């Protein structure tokens, strides 16, 4: 029996990341077909999206990740820092425009006080109690614990109490310690990132997990990254934790402009689609696979739906991080365009909330 069949029948744990990287040697359509069968059995032809607003309150950063084009301490010539009122205003506008979620992540500001973060989330929740606050990547949480010498449990509980509803998946980059050291030395290491998400899940909360790929990593590093996430989700299942866990896995394509990483050639579309398909095959215990259109490009994100993905992310409204590094995502996408493109590709657009509850299916809308 071949490797793919062994993996599909559940023998994943018997192989090392290097051995599993041989999945990339399979024909793209064979991998895609296996991944598509899994996504079809979970979600049929549905493609999920939400109405959301990305807000990045500051790009002034105490860290110096090599791959980053967003931080003002690197090549971004426009440092900025929003006041709490400015953030609240954006959230209110987004809500009035139909957003159900605000996605708030920022650089590691060197002088903001701890209370600033709590006040900001409280102010947003007070102004728009109905909106879901997805905020604070694990690396940001780690930064707060180190900067203010606070226990992790306290920071996490304070954020929840201030109104944070779920954690985004950012800051995971690549877990392999050696690659990570080159990419983002100084930021939360892999164990710390995973520990923060484990604690979050233990409290009955949901989060996402990203993987930055297409830079200096090798294929087996991607597999190792996926297996570490798989293992955490498996432990949750074994502990019978019904409430918390990873909702979605989000492979992010490294963007090449305006940063200091000497990356090899950009991966081909075929390599990207194989990565999506392998993620769907290996991470069957994480329900959703997101093709984040702001990173992959809208067209490739749509194609990825045939290779295991079931989600596009949202309308975003304004995007700062991927676009700073060259992605064509600055102005988001309208809800109408999102629905049209998904339907045009032969899928069923389903508007969801942040926790993947289905709000509206656009199957019948022409």
Does the annotation flag 184 for ligand binding?
no
Q: Which residue has the tokens 């614990």?
A: 145
Tell me the residue length of the chain. 366
Pick between residue 68 and residue 174 the one whose CB is nearest to ligand SF4.
Answer: 68
Q: Which of residues 225-254 bind ligand SF4 (CB under 6 A)?
A: none
Task: Tell me how far, at minimum, the Cβ of 179 lies from ligand SF4, in Å.
Answer: 15
- Give the phi and the psi of residue 363 in degrees, each rounded to 5: -55, -45
Q: How far apart are CA 185 and CA 172, in angstroms?
A: 13
Compute φ and ψ for 12, nearest 5 degrees: -55, -45
Tokens representing 335 are 């809800």
Say if residue 358 carries a ligand binding annotation: no
Contact between 193 and ligand SF4 by CB under 6 A: the answer reads: no
Q: Smallest gap, in angstroms, from Cβ of residue 174 to ligand SF4? A: 13
Q: Using the rule CB under 6 A, is 108 a contact of ligand SF4?
A: yes
Chosen residue from 7, 20, 88, 107 binding ligand SF4 by CB under 6 A? 107
Residue 215 beta carbon to ligand SF4: minimum distance, rounded to whole angstroms: 13
Find all residues with CB under 8 Å of 95, minimum gap 6, and list them. Answer: 128, 130, 131
> Burial, 304: exposed, middle or buried (Cβ in 10 Å; 0-12, 13-18, 19+)?
buried
Q: What residues from 68 to 97 belong to the interface with ligand SF4 (CB under 6 A)?
A: 68, 70-71
Of residues 290 through 319, those in contact with ligand SF4 by CB under 6 A are: none
Instruction: Give the CB-side neighbour count of residue 336, counting CA atoms within 13 A.
Output: 1
Min separation Cβ 151 and ligand SF4, Å: 21
Tokens matching residue 92? 């209110």
Site for ligand SF4 in 14-73 (CB under 6 A): 61, 63-65, 68, 70-71
CB of 134 or CB of 274, closer to ligand SF4: 134
Structure tokens that stand for 289 in this block? 């696979």
CA distances from 272 to 153, 163, 241, 307, 346 (A): 37, 36, 32, 10, 21
Phi, psi of 139, deg, nearest 5: -70, -35
Size of the site for ligand SF4 (CB under 6 A): 12
Torsional sign, CA 226, 287, 347, 312: negative
Comparison of 71 and 295: residue with beta carbon closer to ligand SF4: 71
Binding pattern for the stretch 138-177 against ligand SF4, x by CB under 6 A and - elsewhere: -x--------------------------------------
19 is in an annotated binding site: no
- The residue (of 47 and 68) whose beta carbon lies closer to ligand SF4 is 68
| Helix, strand, or coil (residue 344) | helix
Beta-strand (E) ranges in 171-275?
206-213, 245-253
Q: Any binding-site annotation on 91?
A: no
> Was 68 annotated as part of a binding site?
yes
Q: How far is the CB of 234 from ligand SF4 (least distance, A)?
A: 29
Least distance (Å) from ligand SF4 to the CB of residue 152?
18
Structure tokens at 275: 């990565």
In the bound state with ligand SF4, the residue whose beta carbon lies nearer, of 165 and 173, is 173
End-to-end Cα separation, the chain, in angstroms: 46
Sort strands 206-213 and 101-104 into parallel, antiparallel or unpaired.
unpaired
Question: Which of 184, 209, 327, 350 lies at the binding interface for ligand SF4 (CB under 6 A)?
Answer: 184
Shortest Cβ 170–ligand SF4 spacing (Å)? 8
Going by C-alpha positions, the residue among 330, 290, 297, 332 that lies closest to residue 313 is 290
Query: Closest approach of Cβ 108 to ligand SF4, in Å?
Result: 5
Q: Which residues bind ligand SF4 (CB under 6 A)?
A: 61, 63-65, 68, 70-71, 107-108, 139, 184, 187
- Indicate the annotated binding residues for [4Fe-4S] cluster: 61, 65, 68
- Indicate the annotated binding residues for S-adenosyl-L-methionine: 67, 173
């Amino acid at each position: 029996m071949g490797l793919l069949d062994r993996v599909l029948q559940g023998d994943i744990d018997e192989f090392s990341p290097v051995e599993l990287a041989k999945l990339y040697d399979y024909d793209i359509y064979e991998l895609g077909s296996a991944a598509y069968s899994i996504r079809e059995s979970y979600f049929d032809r549905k493609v999920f999206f939400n109405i959301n607003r990305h807000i990045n309150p500051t790009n002034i950063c105490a860290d110096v990740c090599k791959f980053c084009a967003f931080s003002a301490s690197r090549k971004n010539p426009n440092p900025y820092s929003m006041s709490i009122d400015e953030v609240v205003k954006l959230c209110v506008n987004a809500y009035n425009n139909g957003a159900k979620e605000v996605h708030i992540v920022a650089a590691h500001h060197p002088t903001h006080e701890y209370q600033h973060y709590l006040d900001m989330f409280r102010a947003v929740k007070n102004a728009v109690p109905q909106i879901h606050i997805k905020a604070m990547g694990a690396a940001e949480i780690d930064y707060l614990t180190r900067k203010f010498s606070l226990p992790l449990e306290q920071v996490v509980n304070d954020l929840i109490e201030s109104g944070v509803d779920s954690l985004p998946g950012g800051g995971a980059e690549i877990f392999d310690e050696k690659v990570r050291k080159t990419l983002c030395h100084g930021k939360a290491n892999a164990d710390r990132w995973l520990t923060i998400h484990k604690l979050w899940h233990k409290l009955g909360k949901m989060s996402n997990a990203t993987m930055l790929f297409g830079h200096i990593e090798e294929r087996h590093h991607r597999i190792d990254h996926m297996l570490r996430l798989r293992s955490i989700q498996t432990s949750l299942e074994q502990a019978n934790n019904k409430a918390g866990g990873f909702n979605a896995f989000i492979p992010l394509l490294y963007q090449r402009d305006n940063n200091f990483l000497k990356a090899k050639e950009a991966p081909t579309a075929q390599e990207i689609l194989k990565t999506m398909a392998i993620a769907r095959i290996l991470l069957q215990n994480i329900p959703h696979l997101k093709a984040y259109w702001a990173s992959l490009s809208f067209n490739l994100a749509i194609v990825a739906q045939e290779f295991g993905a079931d989600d596009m992310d949202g309308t975003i409204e304004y995007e700062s991080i991927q676009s700073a590094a060259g992605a064509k995502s600055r102005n988001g996408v309208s809800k109408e365009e999102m629905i049209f493109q998904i339907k045009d590709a032969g899928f069923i657009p389903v508007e969801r909330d942040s926790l993947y509850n289905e709000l509206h299916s656009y199957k019948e809308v022409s």
